[in-house]
Amino acid sequence: MIKKITPVIFLLVTYVGFSQVFPIDFTDTADENFSAFNGAVVTYESDPGDASNKIMKIVGANNAWDGAALDLIQFIDLSDDANNTITFRINPLGTGTGSSGNHLLKFEGPNGNTELPFTTTGTGWQNISVDFGSGLSQYTRLVIFPDAGDANAGNDDAYLIDDFSGGVVIAATCTDGLKNGDEEGVDCGGSCPNACTIEEPAEAATAPSRDETTFEILSIYSDTYSNVSGTNFNPNWGQSTTYSEVMVNANNTIKLAGLNYQGHALASPVDVSGKTHLHIDFWAKSSTDLGIFLINSSAVVNPAVEKEYLLIPSGSVETWNSVDIPLTEFSDIVDLTQIDQFKYDGNGNIWIDNIYFYKESATASVEENKLSSFSVFPNPSANNWNVKTSGSTITSIKLYSILGKEVRSYKNLNTQETLVNSQGLNSGIYIAKISTTEGDKTIRFIKK
C-alpha cells in the first residue's frame, strides 16, 4: 500500500498559469501550463514517433517527489464512481539508471485531495487507466509524479506524456470559487462581472487576554506575546495567494488576498504536545471556504502528515472570529511534538491575527474533549447521516453546501443522536455546523 504523501507534495509544488479543461492533449497552447517542481523540468515538443503530435516531456531530478502539476480553470468531477477513471499515455524513455516504474497521479481541490499509484514497464508508449474510488469530490489541480518516492531515479530519467481524459467537467460559473469567467471580483457569489465586493475589517482583532505564563503560551504571530523567531510567513509553495502584512488600527495583521492556499514555515519544529489548544483570529467576509492545517513536514523516512480543521462556514460573517481549536482535533494524525508548518486553504480575502498555542486548565480540557466526541455514520451516505455525540446534547444542526449555502436546518433537537437527511442532495462534500450544550463543532459530510 502506498503511503499517504499529500502533505509533502502540496507544500512543495510550484504552479504558474492555467489550462483549459479536460481532455488535455497539448493541441491547445493553454495545455502548456504544467509547472515542474522539486527539480524536474517540463518541455513541450513533437512526439519522436509522430512529428505532427505535440506532447509533454518531464525530465526528473534526484528527488523522491519531483514531477509536474497543472491548475484547471474548471472543476473536474470524480464523484461519479461510474465515470471517474482517468486515462492517459506515457512513454518512459529509459535513459536513466534509477527509474522505478512506480508513479502517482493526484488531484487536489477545495475539499481535499485524492491520489492513486500506477506503474509502467519498459519503454515505449503505454496506455494508463487510473480508476478512482467512490465518495470523491471535485478538483482543480492535476499532479503527476514520475518515479514516485524514488530519490535515486536521477535527473536523466525522462517521460513523454499525452492525452489526459476522463471524469466530468463542471461548467464555469461566477459562484464556483474559481476565477474562470468574466468576474472582476473574487469568485465567491453574486453575478458577473463583479462576483462580490471585497471589504476590509475596520477594527483590529481583539488583543488576547490570556496570561502568557499561566497559560504557557507559545505564540507564532501576535503583537501581544513573544513570538517564536525565524518563521517564514510567506514561503514559496507555488500558491497564487497574495500575502502581505498590513496595519489594522495600528495592529500588525496578516492579509491573504485571493486565497487558494498559503503556508507558514517555522524555523524549527516546535513541541506542542503539552498544550491543549490552538488559537486563531480571522476576518473573512468574502470567503466561503477556509481551513487551517497543522503539519509535520520534516520527516524523511516517514512521509510528512497534515490535518485540516474547518473554520468556515461557521465563521462566514462580517466580524472578527476568535477560535480556540482543541489539539485533539489534530493529534490522531499529526505528531504534536514536531509541528513545523501551518497551512490555510480556501477562497476569498482573509485577515489573520493572534496565532498561538496554549495550555488550558484540566477542567476546561475535559469539557473540550466532550465536544470533540462525535461520530457520523455512514459517511459517505446515500440516504441519511446518523450523528451521535457523547457527553453533550445536540441542540441544532445546519448543513451547508461547499459554497456556503444552507441546504438543511434542524432546530430544538435536545438529543444526543439524530438523523440528517441527505436525500435530494447532489453528490459531493457538505459542511455540518453542529451546535451542542458544550459549544459548536464543524464536520464534513460526504454524499454518495
Residue 277 belongs to a domain with what CATH number?
2.60.120.430
Q: Is residue 88 part of a domain?
A: yes
CA distance 440 to 433: 7
Residues near 213 by beta carbon (within 8 Å), at least 6 away in sequence:
none
Do residue 246 and residue 324 come from a single domain? yes
Do residue 253 and residue 284 come from a single domain? yes
What CATH code is carried by the domain that includes residue 109? Answer: 2.60.120.260
Number of compact structural domains in the chain: 3
In the prediction, which pLDDT does 197 show?
54
Do residue 269 and residue 223 come from a single domain? yes
| The three cell numbers locating residue 230 | 525565524
234-286 pLDDT, tens digit per residue, is 998 888 888 999 998 888 999 998 888 999 999 999 999 999 999 999 988 77
CA distance 281 to 355: 7
Q: Is residue 391 part of a domain?
A: yes
Distances (CA, A) of 173 to 187, 189, 402: 9, 9, 14
- Indicate the pLDDT class of residue 7, thresholds 50, 70 and 90: very low
Query: Rounded mean pLDDT of 285-304?
Result: 75
Do residue 21 and residue 163 come from a single domain? yes
CA distance 261 to 11: 9
CA distance 258 to 346: 9
Residue 268 amino acid letter: S
Do residue 26 and residue 139 come from a single domain? yes
Do residue 53 and residue 161 come from a single domain? yes
Do residue 355 and residue 376 come from a single domain? no
CA distance 347 to 420: 27
Q: What is the CA radius of gyration of the chain?
A: 23
Question: What is the domain extent for residue 302?
Answer: 218-360
Cβ neighbourhood burial of 59 (10 Å; 0-12, 13-18, 19+)? buried
Do residue 356 and residue 376 come from a single domain? no
Residues in the chain: 448
Q: What are phi and psi of 329, to 5 degrees?
A: -65, -20
Query: Rounded mean pLDDT of 55-82?
Result: 87
pLDDT at 65 over 50: yes
Do residue 338 and residue 405 come from a single domain? no
Secondary structure (3-state) at 91: strand
Element (H, E) at 354: strand 350-358
Peptide bond between residue 378 and the one before it cis (omega within 30 degrees of 0): yes
